[in-house]
A and B are shown apart, each in its own frame.
Chain A
Amino acid sequence: MAKRFMYMNTKAPYGTVYALESLEVVLIGAAFEQDVSVAFIGDGVYQLAKGQDTKGIGMKNFSPTYAALGDYDVNKIYVEKESLEERGLTLDDLQHLVWEDEDEDWAEKDSIRLVSRSELADVIDDQDVVLSF
């Protein structure tokens, strides 16, 4: 029976390796056919900021990879509202992530679910395994 796996992101991209590693784990985990959710809280919300251009720092810009999550059946992406607000951000500052629902004629749907801290606590409570980076 598929377990509910949540991957939680708490750190900003590029300053440490956590964001990239976490994304790699999610993609590799997609092959295991479990029920996957991904959450972004704290500085983790910065990972989804649009317009990342890393040419000047000599690191690979891996932000386009988030757009591919939908193709890997990862379509429950939780972003914590309080973390965005604390950082002066809104959903508009983030990439627009979508997935295609094969049960509805491949209709394109939003993957990002904006939730409050307490709503997210309930979602996490329901998970079988949590991997936090």
Chain B
Amino acid sequence: MDEDEARRQGKDANNIAEGFRISGLGQLIEAGVESDRLVTFGA
């Protein structure tokens, strides 16, 4: 089964708290590990 996961990569450097940013990036990698296909969009 083909699972497309699109991930929007936030390009703003004004991320508020370190905690939030780390979880966002962790999710990106997890998506890469777990999906069949990973599509990312960014500026």
Residues of A within 8 A of B (CB): 3, 5, 17, 21, 24-25, 28-29, 31-32, 34, 128-129, 131
Contacts and interface: CB of A to CB of B under 8 A. Distances in A.
Given A129-B38, A131-B40, A5 B11 contact: no
Interface residues of B, number: 13
26 contacts: A3-B32, A3-B33, A5-B29, A17-B11, A17-B13, A21-B11, A24-B21, A24-B25, A25-B25, A25-B29, A28-B25, A28-B26, A29-B25, A29-B29, A31-B26, A32-B26, A32-B29, A32-B30, A32-B33, A34-B29, A34-B33, A128-B32, A129-B33, A129-B38, A131-B32, A131-B40
B17 interface: no
Contacts, number: 33
Interface centre among B21, B25, B38, B40 (most CB of A within 10 A): B25
**A25, A34, A128, most chain B CB atoms within 10 A:** A25
The 10 closest A-B pairs by CB, nearest first: A129-B32, A17-B13, A29-B29, A28-B25, A25-B25, A32-B29, A28-B26, A129-B38, A3-B33, A32-B33
Interface in B12-43: 13, 21-22, 25-26, 28-30, 32-33, 38, 40
